[in-house]
Amino acid sequence: MTLPFTIQAQAGAARLGRLTTAHGVVETPVFMPVGTLGSVKSVPQDTLEELGAQIILGNTYHLYLRPGHELVRNLGGLHRFMSWERALLTDSGGFQVFSLSSLRKITEDGVNFRSHLDGSSHFFTPERSIEIQIALGADIIMAFDECTEHPAEHGHTRDSMEMTLRWAQRCKEYFEAHKHDVPWHSPDLPDQALFGIVQGGMYADLRRESAERTVEAGFPGYAIGGLSVGEPREKTREMIAAALEVLPKDKPRYVMGVGYPEEVIQYAAMGVDMMDCVLPTRAARHGLLFTSEGRLNIKNMRFAQDQGPPDAACKCKVCARYTRAYLRHLFVSSEPLAGILNTMHNLAFYLDTMRAVRHAISLGDLSGILAGSVSTSA
């Protein structure tokens, strides 16, 4: 069986869903913390469990380079290697490989690139990406796609989208032939699931066409990729809306690499089921806290004697125990605890926000939460 997905309740276009993986049920809409190297930076796995993270991301490119997918496979897969018994998703490595713009060369067959670690030469094809992701063993894996650069002309964006569609077919064929080639495969548990990815740059017509043709290829879930690459927020929404018009309502729909807390709420309201972003963890390491009153830069002098919690409305352990003055002191003193506590709070804020979104959908009304969300992007 492949990733059973049921919808429990709806509020407008928003859906409350349950995604059943071999590593437990994921309630959607869900925010997925990013754990690039098999670690959500600064936060141990038991804390992620306490915070209520249901599913986290790993990164194919990074784990392939270090420690290597064969090693992870031989140690029982990524779940066992990192001691994470809940659900995992790996991205295909496409985005990272394309980000190495000066270090890579793209052909129809795949992408030749140099490691950012030691300059060694590597070749990723759609088949190779899926082979690595099968070896890592995440519950959900992603097709290898080309992230069209931004900005790009319509013609070039179409060519790029066409290649992503051809690569999606190759990913699917390789996956179907090899998905059970792992020692931990069990016929009693849901199979690993391969998601297709909608591209099409900043053109609504291409987004719709990409969605139609990816759905024709047939996947158990669909992602919308290539967004949050510098376009205005209104454009991001428009591209998501164009793809959602076409994507089937009975399958999970995942927007990759977004966004600020208020955006995550808006996209859930539009009918998006899954989102991931480095923002809460990366911002935390730079001293930026997301709160119910907006964004807070903890290194600011005005917090030096502030005895209030980071966010008076937050129920996390950090807000229950520590003051803004102390968090500021840790940050300006470069204490490692600063990154740990800031990350715990930011993740709690995102995960609690999604919990509130799910509760509101179960009550059939998201208007209160949409009206109450504060801009945190500046």
In the set 91, 139, 191, 352, the catalytic residue is 91
51 part of the interface to Zn ion, by CB under 5 A: no
Strands, DSSP E only, in 97-217? 104-106, 111-114, 121-124, 140-142, 193-198
Backbone angles phi, psi at 47, to 5 degrees: -70, -40
CB nearer to Zn ion: pick between 274 and 316: 316
- Give min distance, CB of 185 to Zn ion, in A: 40
Within 79-108, which residues bind Zn ion (CB under 5 A)?
Answer: none
In the block, tokens 């004697």 appear at 305
- For residues 110 to 139, the per-residue mask of contacts with Zn ion, x marking binding by CB under 5 A and - elsewhere, is ------------------------------
CB nearer to Zn ion: pick between 228 and 343: 343
Residue 330 Cα distances to 142, 320, 323, 334, 335, angstroms: 38, 17, 11, 6, 5
CB nearer to Zn ion: pick between 130 and 351: 351
Choices 93-101, 109-117, 242-250, 312-320; region in contact with Zn ion by CB under 5 A: 312-320
- Give min distance, CB of 51 to Zn ion, in A: 10
Q: How many residues does the chain have?
A: 378
- Give min distance, CB of 276 to Zn ion, in A: 20
283 part of the interface to Zn ion, by CB under 5 A: no
- Give min distance, CB of 348 to Zn ion, in A: 5
CA 16 from centroid of its chain's CA atoms: 18
For residue 191, indicate whether it is catalytic.
no
CB nearer to Zn ion: pick between 197 and 327: 327
Choices 64-72, 192-200, 311-319, 321-329; region in contact with Zn ion by CB under 5 A: 311-319
Residue 173 in tokens? 């064929």
CB nearer to Zn ion: pick between 161 and 314: 314
CB nearer to Zn ion: pick between 170 and 345: 345
Residue 77 Cα distances to 25, 124, 139, 265, 333, angstroms: 19, 20, 11, 33, 38
Choices 24-32, 183-191, 307-315, 353-361; region in contact with Zn ion by CB under 5 A: 307-315
314 part of the interface to Zn ion, by CB under 5 A: yes
Q: What is the C-alpha to C-alpha distance for residues 136 and 313, in angstroms, rounded to an integer?
A: 39
Residue 8 in tokens? 């429990």
Evaluate whether 226 touches 207 at the Cβ level (below 8 Å).
no
Evaluate whether 35 touches 79 at the Cβ level (below 8 Å).
no
Evaluate whether 266 touches 236 at the Cβ level (below 8 Å).
no
In the set 145, 191, 273, 276, the catalytic residue is 276
- Give min distance, CB of 317 to Zn ion, in A: 8
- For residues 315 to 354, the per-residue mask of contacts with Zn ion, x marking binding by CB under 5 A and - elsewhere, is -x-xx-------------------------x--x------
Long-range contacts of 229-233 (CB under 8 A, 24+ apart): 229/147, 229/149, 229/150, 230/150, 231/150, 231/202, 233/263, 233/377
- Give min distance, CB of 262 to Zn ion, in A: 17
Nearest Cα neighbor of 33 from 17, 21, 45, 19 is 45
For residue 91, indicate whether it is catalytic.
yes
Question: Under rule CB under 5 A, how many of the chain's residues touch Zn ion?
Answer: 6
Residues that bind Zn ion (CB under 5 A): 314, 316, 318-319, 345, 348
Catalytic residue numbers?
91, 276
